[in-house]
Amino acid sequence: MAGTSVLQRTNFFSPPADPPQSSDLNLRLKEQHCLSLLKSCNNLEEFKQAHAQIVKWGFFWNSFSASNLVAASALSDWGSMDYACSIFRQIDDPGTFEFNTMIRAYVKDMNFGEALAFYCEMLERGVEPDNFTYPALFKACAWLKAKEEGMQIHGHSFKLGFETDVYVQNSLINMYGKCGQIEHAGAVFEQMDEKSVASWSAIIAAYASLGMWSECLMVFGNMSSEGCWRPEESTLVTVLSACTHLSALDLGKCTHGALLRNISGLNVIVQTSLIDMYVKCGCLEKGLSLFHRMAERNRMSYTVMISGLAMHGHGEEALRIYSMMLEEGIEPDDVVYVGVLSACSHAGLIDEGFECFDRMKSEHGIEPAVQHYGCMVDLMGKAGMINEALEFINSMPIEPNDVVWRSLLSACRVHCNLEIAEIAAKHLFQLSSQNPGDYVILSNMYAQAEKWPEVAKIRMEMARKGLNQVPGFSLVEVGRRIHKFVSQDTSHPLCKSIYEMIHQMEWQLKFEGYTPETSQVLLDVDEEEKAQRLKGHSQKLAIAFALIHTSQGTPIRIARNLRMCNDCHSYTKLISIIYEREITVRDRNRFHHFKDGTCSCRDYW
């Protein structure tokens, strides 16, 4: 057999009768021949045969062949790292490349501890790491969330002068992001002379994983303006997620446009993110139509749709989608059931809620978790079944958490049950709840009952614990900018015109028979002061601002951090008639669509 034909031959598994004619080939050619054989292997069995043949030929045990054996083998893909390791151990004097190969292979195999152990061995044996060593190590630390080790190894790479290697920097951003050390990730990012698409993706993902959505969008904006923008599906999905959390519909729509222009054939992940964005930004119809047009749906798509419908109070429709999911043969999980139960709770579907709660375990073998119990307490509480809800909590086989007790406390507030509110609050305080809202609710209930000494006691307790009432705020998007209003806000640059608008609205509201519901202003102050307080609620400021700055008929969408007060609810209903606007408000629990003087929640919330 001629030398050239040996080199060209890649199908090792009809092996030649004789080994390559070593007298005819120089060492390099032999090595390349070995490599091409190894690369042609498709599984471990073929690989072992190739390995044995090369050893038989007698020119395997130089370090080049051995390391390439590991490198070319995809041994980690075949779950054969023990075999790779046995090869490595036969190398007399492994160098940087051999160690790098092992570290990379272990990282690929998701065996991060072993990767770090090889790095330690490398240092112990005095083998100097190079710039190829570090990205793999940082990836291992990222997965392990090994903050301390990561920082220590960062120190090594710095000393060796790899601080400006773009691959090292990108993996550092990823590592610090995954370890929650966002300021370190940001520092590495800022110091980079040349940022690659991977650098931007890494920092955007880091902000997203910590829920720092505004920063996420800001960095994305900078990426575009610095001309380093390549529309990548994954980045755009992260941006969509940020829009969802910030209720930034206009930007979400732009992102949808960018996806349609740049990515052909949106996959199920992108479509699910789009549905989630539209639904959580208040456009339920748009979300539904995308959902029904999907060619392929998975459990996640169903979850998004079911919990979206739940937030909008469309309980029956949510249950229809849930049945559709079962018919399609998709097995529900615990998160789907949180959506289903909350749909029942928001829509007042008591019997259906209990039925689903039972089916969850009996038909799908899902043991109810504390969130599911929470939904059931909410379901009963909203319907005014306060005593039943308390009994239900007392019979729970698992320990109720603060969310469960808080659900009960909220229900007590709505249905004015001070006695059980005290029980719920006692449990919350025992659970060392640091949530100022719990104290505020109880104190407000005492105020409503005109029990002023108790009010003072609670307020003092709050002060002693250093808890401050969380100020209510509302977000409204006007001209692709999110404007934030805090209760009693006077900081907005257009503050004067906003308060003038509030004044004008007030006159029109009076014609419609509006009287401020001062009963929820729970301060020991006179009626006029109470009415004054109500006027400054952040939702009203946001509505006034939007009425000034958007044209007639434009829908107004608001997102707020707290639950709406009764006064804002009835106020907004009237505004929707007077100004002929559809107003959508997302509070911490659900959506309210105000139109023609009514709200989609039918005053059940």
Partner DNA sequence: TTAGGGTTAG
For the bound state, the minimum distance from the C-beta of residue 40 to DNA, rounded and expressed in Å, comes to: 15
Phi-psi region of 505 (alpha: psi -120 to 50; beta: other; left: phi over 0): alpha
310, 342 in Cβ contact below 8 A? yes
CA of 284: how far to CAs of 143, 305, 468, in Å? 37, 9, 35
Pick 162 or 605: Cβ nearer DNA: 162
For the bound state, the minimum distance from the C-beta of residue 551 to DNA, rounded and expressed in Å, comes to: 32
Told to check if 96 binds DNA by CB under 7 A, we report yes
562, 472 in Cβ contact below 8 A? yes
Adjacent-strand bridge partners of 65: none
Told to check if 59 binds DNA by CB under 7 A, we report no
Told to check if 335 binds DNA by CB under 7 A, we report yes
Told to check if 127 binds DNA by CB under 7 A, we report no
Cα-only R_g, the chain: 32
Pick 132 or 354: Cβ nearer DNA: 132
For the bound state, the minimum distance from the C-beta of residue 32 to DNA, rounded and expressed in Å, comes to: 8
For the bound state, the minimum distance from the C-beta of residue 298 to DNA, rounded and expressed in Å, comes to: 5
Which element (helix H / strand E) includes 598? strand 598-599
Q: Which stretch, 160-168, 285-293, 402-410, 455-463, contacts DNA (CB under 7 A)?
A: 160-168
What is the spatial distance between Cα 453 and Cα 596, in angstroms, rounded to a whole number?
43
Residue 187's identity, in one-letter code, is A
Told to check if 333 binds DNA by CB under 7 A, we report yes
* The one among 59, 78, 167, 499 contacting DNA by CB under 7 A: 167
Longest dimension (CA), the chain: 107
Told to check if 222 binds DNA by CB under 7 A, we report no
Told to check if 181 binds DNA by CB under 7 A, we report no
Residue 122's identity, in one-letter code, is M
Q: Are strands 591-595 and 556-560 parallel, antiparallel or unpaired?
A: unpaired
Pick 115 or 455: Cβ nearer DNA: 115
Residue by residue, DSSP assigns 110-157 as: T-HHHHHHHHHHHHHTTPPP-TTHHHHHHHHHHHHT-HHHHHHHHHHH
Pick 135 or 252: Cβ nearer DNA: 135
Pick 200 or 594: Cβ nearer DNA: 200
Upper half-sphere CA count for residue 508 (Cβ side, 13 Å): 15
What is the spatial distance between Cα 586 and Cα 579, in angstroms, rounded to a whole number?
20
Closest Cα to residue 506, out of 532, 476, 484?
Answer: 532
528, 518 in Cβ contact below 8 A? no
* The one among 233, 422, 506, 517 contacting DNA by CB under 7 A: 233
One character per residue 139-158, x = contact with DNA (rule: CB under 7 A): x--x----------------
Could you tell me how many residues of this chain bind DNA (CB under 7 A)? 63
Residue by residue, DSSP assigns 449-480 as: TT-HHHHHHHHHHHHHTT--PPPPEEEEEETT
One character per residue 452-481, x = contact with DNA (rule: CB under 7 A): ------------------------------
Told to check if 76 binds DNA by CB under 7 A, we report no
Told to check if 371 binds DNA by CB under 7 A, we report no
* The one among 73, 76, 80, 174 contacting DNA by CB under 7 A: 174
138, 150 in Cβ contact below 8 A? yes
Phi-psi region of 384 (alpha: psi -120 to 50; beta: other; left: phi over 0): left
Q: Which stretch, 131-139, 432-440, 443-451, 455-463, contacts DNA (CB under 7 A)?
A: 131-139
Told to check if 100 binds DNA by CB under 7 A, we report yes
276-305 positions binding DNA, by CB under 7 A: 276, 298-301, 303-304
Q: Are strands 583-586 and 591-595 parallel, antiparallel or unpaired?
A: antiparallel
* The one among 80, 272, 443, 538 contacting DNA by CB under 7 A: 272
* The one among 68, 255, 410, 570 contacting DNA by CB under 7 A: 68
Residue 385's identity, in one-letter code, is M
Footprint of DNA (CB under 7 A): 64, 67-68, 71, 96-97, 100-101, 104, 130-132, 134-136, 138-139, 142, 162, 165-168, 170-171, 173-174, 177-178, 196-199, 201-202, 205, 208-209, 232-235, 237-238, 241, 244, 267-270, 272-273, 276, 298-301, 303-304, 307, 333, 335-336
